[in-house]
Amino acid sequence: MVTPLEYIRRLSRWARALMMLGVVLVTGCSAPHGPPAGALQDVQSIEIRYQYSGWGRVDEVHRLEPGAGRRTFQRSSQLDSQEDPDAVVTDAIPAQRVAELLWAVSAPPWPRERGVDAVARRVRPARILEQVLSYYSTPERGCTPRAFEARAHALLQRDSLKGQLGRYYANGIWTDDDPAMRVVIRYEHRPTQVLASNERTLLMLPWVLGDPGAGDAAVTTWSVPVSQALRRLLPESSKAFERLGRREDGSLVERIAATARVACKVQHR
């Protein structure tokens, strides 16, 4: 006869088995993707250069080299501050952050739809709505502040927001904002990896992997993890750190405000 204690033990084993089965069904039989074997130990240096012109100028250079035992990487950052343009800030960061970048860069490229979906989950609708309402002006007949807010609120719902972001990325942004980021990962025994972006958009998506100037076949990826991993390698005082951390921007707010205004006018003609 099975005792209550033995019954509980058997139930626990069944629960663990079902949980493992669920993991297999969700992730498949293959092992999770990670950086190429030994890549972290083979890194010689990483250089991240961020330049910006438009409403000011920025020229930052961040260099990372493995420390003793490769448990940390030494980071040397020239932040190009107006107070001291030649100042260099040095510190150490965990090797795990470098591994995150290697993982993101070596992963299969993200298609545009996946990137847009990930960005939509980062956006804060309440923050955007607050800014959109400041664009309300003398309305067309019947388009009251409440009606305008209702149209803007509708545009910030899940599927509508993804549509707005899709057009935001597809149509480009025409401003004086002119950023450029180039990342070079050098190895002891492997080919150098290069990724770059000149995009004005959130997270600077998409990224171009490869160096066409060196004969590489360029690959485009909309990988949000690439942007996030790069940001984690930068000091918080970096302008690039600030840029890669933005969850909304003025261009997206203006687009949603303009769309809400048109929809409100059409509805209340």
* 35-to-22, 115, 116, 185, 248 alpha-carbon distances in Å: 25, 20, 24, 13, 30
Q: Which residue has the tokens 């502040």?
A: 145
How far is residue 230's CA from residue 179's CA, in Å, rounded to a whole number?
15
How far is residue 102's CA from residue 99's CA, in Å, rounded to a whole number?
5
What tens digit of pLDDT does each residue of 95-145 get?
A: 999 999 999 999 999 999 999 999 999 999 999 999 999 888 766 677 888
For residues 189 and 60, the answer to whether their CB atoms sit within 8 Å is no
* Confidence at residue 108, expressed as pLDDT on a 0 to 100 scale: 96
4 confidence band (pLDDT: 50, 70, 90): very low
Count Cα neighbours of 14 within 13 Å in the Cβ-side half-sphere. 6
Confirm whether pTM is higher than 0.85.
no
Query: Domains of the chain: which residue ranges?
Result: 1-32, 95-269
Residues 6+ apart with CB under 8 A from 112: 166, 169, 206, 222
How far is residue 267's CA from residue 90's CA, in Å, rounded to a whole number?
58
